Structure 1
Amino acid sequence: MHELFFVRLFAYSIIPLLLASAHLLLDRHARTPARRIELFTVYLLAISVGASGLGGAFGHLFLADVIAEGVGWPAGSPFQLEMGFANLALGILGIMAISRRDGFRTATIVAVTVVGVGATTVHLMDIAATGNLAPGNTVQNLGNLLDPVLLIALAWLARRHPAEAESPAALRWHRQVETVAGMAAAGVGIGFGVGFAAGALLLWTVLGVLAGVAFGVLLNSRASDAHKELMPAAR
């Protein structure tokens, strides 16, 4: 049970930072401040908000007793279902916000912050009142706070470094980033779920991430080849 929450923290809060950093190092087109900020923002929205929200929804809706045990709270509460649908809403917002570079992202970050800070406050109050140090009551607070802090900081930086003017090349770059981040998010979620069922959380989560990234790169490669084939015809 302890492993569940530690791997969840790694999967949904640390992996997006590692992937964004690797993408930044390998992508020669991501050299402007605006694009660097965009890279980290997209990976966090895709994984820390989108995949995490959908995964949390699945846990609260279909594995409620397991989650309750991990948090150290009584099983069988219908409030688990309410939390499940709240997480589902966050997951959908995160996925939708990947391709949005407007106020929709800001609204999503506000929602994530309110839920994350609110949940952490409740957990800290429970710790103070009962001394409950179950991993679900302690470890997950790190992600609940880290993700909103990073997203708020990135949103602030984005205001200081306005996005570049839209052009065909810029739009292609954004689509490529969104594709890889989206597939990585799917890989994290699927890998985490398979790992939970198979009793090998970390292994399957890492394999899922690698498979998702590889599939995203493959999709981008095919799209790039198709674009090159169309270029002579356009001329």
Structure 2
Amino acid sequence: MRHISVFTIILSLVYSFALSLFAQPKVEQAMIKQGLVDVQKVDPSILVELKYSTTDNFVGKDVYDDLTRAYMQPMAARKLAAASKYLQDHHPELRLLVYDAARPRTAQWKLWNALPNMPERERQTYVADPRKGSIHNYGCAVDLTVATKEGKPLDMGTKYDFFGVLAYPSREDELLQSGKLTQKQIDNRHILRTAMREGGFSSIEYEWWHFNALSREKAKMAFRIVD
């Protein structure tokens, strides 16, 4: 009887796991099968609000459907957890707030096609060509900000997905001198950049919110695109 009970328990656990897996959105199932992990399971203190799962984005539409969790490659998620720890060690009242992480290429096409009238060079600055793939498509990039424990984002001078020089880290000195950004806004950006660099991420020159765990070349060699 004892053996039957143990077998029954094991069977019940396997069945429950299978049900929980199939209850997840298909895109999440695909990410998990490719080895990606939910960043909040690596570090529960990280806040998540996927902007492309809302209408609060440059498209004005929900392009992610039922994807609401932030997934990344395990090495990238560990780097994010390290950045989160650094932030909290130096600013205990603050948290990382993720706006976007691994992005299916199907969604990349939606973003690309939402800018048909933008000059090609400018469009590729803000949205990677889906045919080449974004670092997001490999699960190695993250878009995020810094927020209070309650989830209120700090003032970074622009909204997420702002297309223009106000969002360029490379132009901050000039923007400060011209009065288009305040010292506080730039200080807030430095808090984010410092934490992310301490975690092992690199920043880019035209989006204060975007960070890469790997270059596109290295990501392409190591991982498959999430379709």
Tell me if both proteins adopt one fold, taking TM over 0.5 as the criterion: no
Q: Which has the higher strand share?
A: 2
Give the TM-score of the pair, scaled to structure 1. Answer: 0.27
Q: Which has the higher helix share?
A: 1
So what's the TM-score if we normalise by structure 2?
Answer: 0.28
